[in-house]
C-alpha cells in the first residue's frame, strides 16, 4: 500500500515553525555569546575560584595587582559598572554607603567599557571612596562572564563565590547579601 502524504494542518505547521524558530534563536544566541558553560566556569556559586590577576588601572585609590589580591581573609563585593549605565548610577550610592558601614567587607568597583574621565567624574559626584579600577582590556569581563551592566559578585572570606546579581542591586538585596557574608 502506498501512502500519500497529507497536507499539514495549520496548527501542526505553526508548531513546527515555532520549534524551528526557537532552535534557530538558540543557535544565534550561542554563536554570539558563546557556550553557556564558558560563562559559568567562573560564576558557578559555592566553589572557590581563582583570583583574577593582572595590573589594573585605578579610577580611584591606589594601584594594585589583581582584583582580589590582598583582599582574602574577608568577604569581597565586586561591582562591574559604567558611568553611562542608568542602573549602575542608581546602585552606586548604595554600594558607597555599604562600603563605609561594613569595614569588614572589601568593596571593589570595576569600570568597564567606559570613558576614564566620565568614570572619574561620576565617582566624584557620587562620593565613592572604595577602590575602583578600569578593565580597559576586557579581561575581567571575560573572566567573570559578565553579560550586562551592572553585575555584582559576592565572595565569602575564603574566596567562594556566594552570589551573583545581574542588574541593579536594591538596598534590601544588598543588606541581605552583606548579612550572609558577615553573619
If you search the block for the grid coordinates 578593565, which residue do you land on?
135
- Give the integer Cα–Cα distance in Å for 127 and 97: 9
- Give the integer Cα–Cα distance in Å for 140 and 135: 6
The answer to whether 105 and 32 are in contact (CB under 8 A) is no
The model carries a pTM of: 0.69
State pLDDT tens for residues 25-64.
434 333 333 333 333 334 455 555 544 555 556 666 555 5
pLDDT confidence of residue 160:
81
pLDDT confidence of residue 67:
55
Q: Which residues of the chain have pLDDT under 50?
A: 13, 16-43, 50-51
Torsion angle defined by CA atoms of residues 157, 159, 163 and 169, in that order, rounded to the nearest 10 degrees: 70
If you search the block for the grid coordinates 559598572, which residue do you land on?
81
pLDDT confidence of residue 131:
85
pLDDT confidence of residue 15:
55
What single DSSP character describes residue 75?
A: -
- Three-state DSSP at 136 gives coil
pLDDT confidence of residue 39:
33
CB proximity list for 34: less than 8 A, separation 6 or greater: none
- Give the integer Cα–Cα distance in Å for 115 and 10: 53
Locate 136 and state its grid cell: 580597559
Cβ atoms within 10 A of the Cβ of 46, count?
A: 9
- Three-state DSSP at 176 gives helix
Amino acid at each position: 500500500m502506498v501512502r500519500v502524504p497529507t497536507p499539514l494542518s495549520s496548527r501542526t505547521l505553526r508548531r513546527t515553525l515555532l520549534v524551528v524558530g526557537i532552535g534557530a534563536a538558540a543557535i544565534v544566541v550561542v554563536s554570539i555569546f558563546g557556550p553557556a558553560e564558558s560563562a559559568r566556569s567562573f560564576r558557578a556559586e559555592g566553589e572557590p575560584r581563582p583570583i583574577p590577576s593582572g595590573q589594573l588601572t585605578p579610577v580611584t585609590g591606589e594601584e594594585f595587582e589583581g582584583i582580589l589580591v590582598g583582599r582574602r581573609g574577608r568577604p569581597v563585593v565586586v561591582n562591574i559598572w559604567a558611568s553611562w549605565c542608568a542602573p549602575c548610577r542608581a546602585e552606586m550610592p548604595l554600594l558607597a554607603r555599604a562600603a563605609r558601614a561594613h569595614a569588614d567587607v572589601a568593596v571593589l568597583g570595576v569600570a568597564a567599557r567606559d570613558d576614564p574621565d566620565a568614570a572619574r567624574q561620576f565617582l566624584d559626584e557620587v562620593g565613592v571612596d572604595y577602590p575602583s579600577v578600569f578593565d580597559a582590556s576586557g579581561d575581567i569581563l571575560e573572566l567573570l562572564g559578565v553579560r550586562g551592566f551592572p553585575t555584582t559578585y559576592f565572595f565569602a572570606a575564603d574566596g567562594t563565590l556566594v552570589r551573583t546579581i545581574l542588574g541593579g542591586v536594591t538596598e534590601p538585596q544588598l543588606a541581605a547579601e552583606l548579612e550572609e557574608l558577615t553573619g
